[in-house]
Amino acid sequence: VILHGYWRSTAAWRVRIALNLKGLSAEHRFHHLRRGEQRDAGFLRLNPQGLLPALELDGDRGAVLTQSLAICEYLDETHPVPPLLPSEPLARARVRAFAQAIACDIHPVQNLKVLNRLGALGLDEEARNAWAREVIAEGLAACEALLAVGGGGPFCFGPAPGLADLCLVPQLYNARRFGADLSAVPRLLRVEAACVELPAFQTAAPDRQPDAE
């Protein structure tokens, strides 16, 4: 498979962790987000949304998958061991809700595209960063409470990392990047500490990618 990403793309990072947890290797192609390479014609043919990641498959007639959570679930369905989701429906729904709280409700609101639009509307860099900080802090505080409902430990939902954890760790990186207050999320930070002990998370980290600046 070929993973189209960028070292600091948190959505691509989720997929890197999923591939590592599954023990799958991928060829990596990099698209520089700050230079707008995600909008090049060649990449738009792969993902008309102009967003990273995209995963080109070597099977399934060379299909291209987009949307990090859809990609992670595809990997989980095609390589079920170790699982990224619990088998029991209620537990699965809780893990998906946590992952989507990050991937659908926090990350898109602080994404590059949105911050650029805010800039075009006249918000200066400090105001844009304050926007991102607040969105992330508020969203992660809710995630902390979601864990209190369904969580065990040391990972988000029990003794093994999965879909929730691979969303959480990159989002905490973005939180720090924008200077969000993390004092209200001690449990999330404990989960992060457990994750970063694992090689699957370590080798997926942005500064370990060949295109890191």
Ligand X SMILES: N[C@@H](CCC(=O)N[C@@H](CS)C(=O)NCC(=O)O)C(=O)O
Annotate 101-130 with DSSP letters as a single string.
IIIIIIGGGGSHHHHHHHHHTT--HHHHHH
- Least distance between ligand X and beta carbon 186 (Å): 26
- Least distance between ligand X and beta carbon 87 (Å): 24
- Least distance between ligand X and beta carbon 29 (Å): 13
State which residue, 69 or 195, has the beta carbon closest to ligand X.
Answer: 69
Binding residues vs ligand X (CB under 6 A): 9-11, 33, 38, 51-53, 67-69, 103, 111-113
State which residue, 20 or 67, has the beta carbon closest to ligand X.
Answer: 67
Peptide bond into 206 cis (omega under 30): no
- Least distance between ligand X and beta carbon 44 (Å): 12
State which residue, 53 or 150, has the beta carbon closest to ligand X.
Answer: 53
Closest CA to 160 of 74, 90, 87, 103: 87
Instruction: Point out the residue whose Cβ comes nearest to ligand X.
Output: 113
State which residue, 11 or 188, has the beta carbon closest to ligand X.
Answer: 11
* Token output for 88: 């029991």
Closest CA to 182 of 133, 146, 148: 133
Angle formed at CA 203 by CA 198 and CA 70, multiple of 5 degrees: 90
State which residue, 40 or 152, has the beta carbon closest to ligand X.
Answer: 40
| Residue 56 β-bridge partners | 2, 64
User: Helix, strand or coil for residue 179?
Assistant: coil
- Least distance between ligand X and beta carbon 88 (Å): 25
